[in-house]
Amino acid sequence: MRINGKELFVEDLGNKNGEAILFLNGVMATTSSWYQIIAPFVNLGYRVILHDFKGQLKSDKPEGPYTFKEHADETVELMNALAIKQAIIVGTSYGGEVGLRLAAYYPERVKKLAVIASVSELDEHMVLVIKDWIKLAKEKDGYEFFWGMCKSIYHPQFIAENRPFLEKRALALAGINPDYFKGQITLYETFLNDVTLDKELDLIKAPTLMISAADDKLKPPRFSEIMRQKIKDSKHVIIKDAAHVVILEKPQEIIDALLEFIH
């Protein structure tokens, strides 16, 4: 779909007359990262909307810098194009941080908000990790990029038990269009420059669920707890034995938490 002059990849799934849920991607991901999570919601009659932000795999990658408000604005334009007045927003990592902006700046468009493994501020460890990702992305070697960032987002046990699965993902990235890395670098820089939104948390009025992973070294649970304390109608669920990519490592636990919150 053409949104604000950019081509954004969109999937419109489920019951077109059902209540809408928008699932917002993590920074390295594309819409397929949600497929395990969305199946029960499609089966329950929801309208499920997925899209790649500008800069992500299947969408346009204009020159930066971007802002999170731009992503939020473009998501609202997408909702307008699909005739969706209000939606439930579910976002993981970067997508959760976009979701926070949506709920802050467009409160009338957000019925409920679920934020998975996301933050509203930075720490030095996070900055160093993202700067390492930028260095890896500049090499444009998809295979080395994947394994280079793997240790910072996957649980060690998950890596040990899923080497063939992860190797397949690394090999798929090995053949990716180099344009992918251009978009990734812009998105990482957007995160470093614009993720802090401490003052905007007070603007969020929608019921909000924070989900964090107990062993997430990139965005630890304490960041979700900071948001829980500042968003009035909110709660925080911690999933054990999982790291940053908790939607892939513990999909059933994510589904259960979302169903309890949403349905």
Tens of pLDDT along 164-197?
A: 999 999 999 999 999 999 999 999 999 999 999 9
Q: Mean per-residue pLDDT for 207-219?
A: 98
Please report the pLDDT score of residue 198 as a whole number: 78
- CA gap 14, 197 in Å, rounded: 33
Tens of pLDDT along 132-145?
A: 999 999 999 999 99
Please report the pLDDT score of residue 120 as a whole number: 98
Please report the pLDDT score of residue 103 as a whole number: 98
Please determine, for residue 217, whether its predicted confidence score (pLDDT) is greater than 90: yes
Q: How many other CB atoms are there within 10 angstroms of residue 69's CB atom?
A: 16
Of 123, 149, 124, whose CA–CA distance to 135 is shortest? 149
Please report the pLDDT score of residue 199 as a whole number: 83
User: Residue 187 CA to chain centroid, in angstroms?
Assistant: 12
Please determine, for residue 123, whether its predicted confidence score (pLDDT) is greater than 90: yes
Please determine, for residue 28, whether its predicted confidence score (pLDDT) is greater than 90: yes
Please determine, for residue 66, whether its predicted confidence score (pLDDT) is greater than 90: yes
Cβ neighbours for 232, distance < 8 A, ≥ 6 positions apart = 204, 205
Please determine, for residue 101, whether its predicted confidence score (pLDDT) is greater than 90: yes
- CA gap 62, 186 in Å, rounded: 9
Q: Cis peptide before 65, with omega less than 30 degrees from 0?
A: yes
Please report the pLDDT score of residue 38 as a whole number: 98
Across the strands, what pairs with 90? 23, 114
Structural domains in the chain plus CATH codes:
2-122+195-262 (3.40.50.1820)
Of 72, 80, 106, whose CA–CA distance to 1 is shortest? 80
